Chain A
Amino acid sequence: MATEILMPALSPTMEEGTLAKWLVKEGDTVSSGDILAEIETDKATMEFEAVDEGIIGKILIEEGTEGVKVNTAIAVLVEEGESADDVEASSDAGSDDDEDKAPIDEPMSANPGASVAVVVPDEMDIPEGTEMKPTTVREALRDAMAEEMRRTPEVFLMGEEVAEYQGAYKISQGLLDEFGAKRVIDTPITEHGFAGIGVGAAFGGLNPIVEFMTFNFAMQAIDQIINSAAKTLYMSGGQMGCPIVFRGPNGAAARVGAQHSHDYAAWYAQIPGLKVVMPYSAADAKGLLKTAIRDPNPVIFLENEILYGQSFDVPVMDDYTVPFGKAKIWREGTDVTIVSFGIGMKYALEAADKLAEDGISAEVVDLRTLRPMDTGAIIESVKKTNRCVTVEEGFPVCSIGNHISAVLMQEAFDYLDAPVINCTGKDVPMPYAANLEKLALTTTKEVIDAVKAVTYR
């Protein structure tokens, strides 16, 4: 019977890719293990092998096609004497069982009852008429590092697979070529050791960028991050600064289980001596990473694997930086303040869109840096809206949201018309099963429900 060959997912977070090249043509006989095609993702080019034997009956997607969704039929495999037309009509791309995703993707309907003024990013010093270029978070991070490495030879990058492999998530793509092996350094798999060497190099006056393949692995190195990097300035009476950036993906990706899905935002945000950054957009990723590299203190820079491939407008400027400790209002509103950061912003913004349809005007605040935290911006917003919902993917106990709630209680108690609700990940290790994983993370729907609760709708 004729079977469809589907576009494969080549990484946990891959949603689409480019069918770069067919290595077979219609009529070819293939057997299991033969290379059928080259698939290009934003991270890598992978060879795609046949699983079954048969004859390539029909090629459905031409080579060079970009944006082919995972699970799209790309060819039909037939048996001897069969026709490619025997196959059942192909289903659409993707096994999309995400219930609340589809409607959110719809264009926002203008609702006269709600303020839908979407605020253009309020970045400082972007001259009028500056060209905005769609850029992925991945490219933005790479550009930030490259620009800073061009600025001064004291900046170097070290980590697992950052050089010859071009980055496990391709963040350091091209850096080895431009800056050489002296400044783009592959380390052995030895987080504790290389984090310590990085900190020592920073004590010695260099500006290391230490990439962790994921912040989950940084737990092996957390003694060096906290006891050595964060505390030494204080313990030395101000003599021994540690200008270092620890960066890498943080939080849940997709289906990688409990040991690869931990969001460390609240952990690091607790530590005096560290600065903690968690950007959402590509422009912020770039501007904040440049600021982080220039900062004379140890900076924890928490990225997100799912955001790496997402595009945002980034201003085309010679030296675009974003200051620490300054939240960004993505959307102005009057009924409720939704505070988030990192990938939580996705839920916050989606919820705000949906809420607008119901006539609820949400102000969405992106903290961008968690330490220092722009609590002033949150308080100012809550003084206007009198209600607050926080959104993050981390665990609920001692979360960033808990801290914000406490700050609001102490500093804006009289302005609150409802208890603050914290939307967080659930109090469980991340499960692997797709349905359970979805339940373990926070969702747009939870944010909407929380807003309705605090606005008594």
Chain B
Amino acid sequence: MAAKKTTKKANVSKEELLSYYRDMLLIRRFEEKAGQLYGMGLIGGFCHLYIGQEAVVVGLEAAAKDGDKRITSYRDHGHMLACGMDPNGVMAELTGREGGYSKGKGGSMHMFSKEKHFYGGHGIVAAQVPLGAGLAFSDKYRGNDNVTFTYFGDGAANQGQVYETFNMAALWDLPVIFVIENNQYAMGTAMARSTSSPDIYTRGAAFGIKGEAVDGMDVLAVKEAGEKAVAHCRAGKGPYILEVKTYRYRGHSMSDPAKYRTREEVQKMREERDCIEHVRDMLLTGKHATDDDLKAIDKEIKGIVNESADFAKESPEPDVSELYTDIYLEAEA
């Protein structure tokens, strides 16, 4: 498997490349494990895997600083791992256990971490878009220079509330980066069958929002675009759109046989454009790492993922008393 070589000379350190490799690999292996646990019946309901899209969140997290916020849809495991949430807590939430981020009450689509400024995990397509703008509003209101990464898919890009949000975000110069993860399929509907114009990033033009398309299989390209967008937002120039062209290898959810595309199409992306292979290739050809070095990382990641699976299996189901907790916060006296 040879990943397409990056065309430009990347000015990137060994350490950076290794950290991208590790972070993307963690997501890949974690998702593979989640798929296994789903097959074993340990994970229920809907489970949307991020495999193939890893470079998007890893590249953008590399452009973020402490205090920045992120919010996304239901395909959210990768975002959580990339922003530093604990794999044990994420996996235990998938299995609906007490040790999960939402104590087992949210599931795959609904996890949050105030500590890591991760605001979900939202199950309604595009609902997170105005929410993300609202988070950005709170930062602007407070007068800090944090930005909010608001992720949504090519499918969500057709929802009306996205454009309601574009309008207000531009009107009020909100520091929000709209990250459109274009994986080319809205569930089973190919983009060409659902979307009138092929370039979603241009849709902000009507509101005066700058946008650009990014190669989402190239973590360095994503990071570079992310830095540009972040600088724009931090400077108080308002929102920015990144349409990150990516690809998911698995079905929409675990129950999707993905008959709407050919096996060859998926295989071609995996072989020619895989984001992890791309970095692996750079590490090896640039003599930044040896095969043995990478094997050691693979082993380390495997250990983390296995530990998360063990934790997720062993963590008890939530106490039945949890049924009636967390519906309301207590008002202060």
- Asked whether A193 and B110 contact (CB < 8 A) given A199-B131, A203-B135, A275-B328, the answer is no
Using CB atoms and an 8 Å cutoff, list the residues of chain A in contact with chain B.
156, 182, 187-188, 190, 192-206, 223-224, 227-228, 232-241, 272-273, 275, 291, 294-297, 324
- Asked whether A236 and B111 contact (CB < 8 A) given A187-B168, A192-B130, A192-B161, the answer is yes
Q: In residues 122-170 of chain B, which contact A (Cβ within 8 Å)? A: 122-124, 127, 129-139, 141, 160-161, 164-165, 167-168
What's the nearest-Cβ distance from chain A to residue B124, in Å?
5
B291 in the interface (beta carbon within 8 A): no
Contact B329 A241 (CB under 8 A): yes
What's the nearest-Cβ distance from chain A to residue B279, in Å?
33
What's the nearest-Cβ distance from chain A to residue B104, in Å?
8
B285 in the interface (beta carbon within 8 A): no
Contact A203 B119 (CB under 8 A): yes
Chain A residues, Cβ within 8 Å of B122 = 228
Chain B residues, Cβ within 8 Å of A272 = 327
Rounded to whole angstroms, the CA-CA distance of A324 and B121 in the bound complex is 31
Contact B138 A206 (CB under 8 A): yes
Given A200-B136, A237-B112, 5 more contacts at CB 8 Å? Answer: A203-B119, A206-B141, A235-B120, A237-B100, A237-B102
A240 contacts which of B100, B120, B136 (Cβ < 8 Å)?
B120
Chain B residues, Cβ within 8 Å of A324 = 331
A197 contacts which of B111, B137, B332 (Cβ < 8 Å)?
B137
Chain A residues, Cβ within 8 Å of B330 = 296
Contact A199 B134 (CB under 8 A): yes
Contact B164 A193 (CB under 8 A): yes
- Return the chain B residue nearest A236 by Cβ: B112
What's the nearest-Cβ distance from chain B to residue A328, in Å?
19
- Return the chain A residue nearest B101 by Cβ: A237
- Asked whether A203 and B331 contact (CB < 8 A) given A235-B106, A236-B102, the answer is no
Chain A residues, Cβ within 8 Å of B138 = 200-201, 203-206
B165 contacts which of A196, A201, A275 (Cβ < 8 Å)?
A196
B223 in the interface (beta carbon within 8 A): no
What's the nearest-Cβ distance from chain A to residue B313, in Å?
19
Interface centre among B119, B124, B328 (most CB of A within 10 A): B328
B113 in the interface (beta carbon within 8 A): yes
B103 in the interface (beta carbon within 8 A): yes
Rounded to whole angstroms, the CA-CA distance of A199 and B165 in the bound complex is 13
Interface centre among A192, A291, A294, A297 (most CB of B within 10 A): A192
Q: How extensive is the interface on chain B, given as a class?
A: 35 or more
Contact B131 A237 (CB under 8 A): no
Contact A233 B327 (CB under 8 A): yes
What's the nearest-Cβ distance from chain A to residue B102, in Å?
4
Contact B106 A200 (CB under 8 A): no
Rounded to whole angstroms, the CA-CA distance of A240 and B100 in the bound complex is 15
Rounded to whole angstroms, the CA-CA distance of A185 and B161 in the bound complex is 19
Contact A235 B105 (CB under 8 A): yes
Rounded to whole angstroms, the CA-CA distance of A194 and B129 in the bound complex is 11
Rounded to whole angstroms, the CA-CA distance of A196 and B126 in the bound complex is 10
- Return the chain A residue nearest B134 by Cβ: A200
Contact A224 B326 (CB under 8 A): no
B327 contacts which of A188, A203, A234 (Cβ < 8 Å)?
A234
Rounded to whole angstroms, the CA-CA distance of A232 and B165 in the bound complex is 20
Between A and B, 29 residue pairs with Cβ closer than 8 Å are: A188-B168, A190-B167, A190-B168, A192-B130, A194-B164, A196-B130, A197-B134, A200-B137, A200-B138, A203-B119, A204-B134, A204-B137, A205-B138, A206-B137, A223-B124, A227-B123, A227-B124, A228-B131, A232-B110, A232-B112, A233-B326, A233-B327, A236-B110, A236-B111, A236-B326, A237-B104, A237-B112, A240-B119, A272-B327
What's the nearest-Cβ distance from chain A to residue B39, in Å?
25
Rounded to whole angstroms, the CA-CA distance of A194 and B328 in the bound complex is 23
B69 in the interface (beta carbon within 8 A): yes
A203 contacts which of B111, B129, B131, B332 (Cβ < 8 Å)?
B131
B2 in the interface (beta carbon within 8 A): no
Contact A233 B110 (CB under 8 A): no
- Return the chain A residue nearest B318 by Cβ: A237
- Asked whether A196 and B326 contact (CB < 8 A) given A188-B168, A232-B120, A238-B103, the answer is no
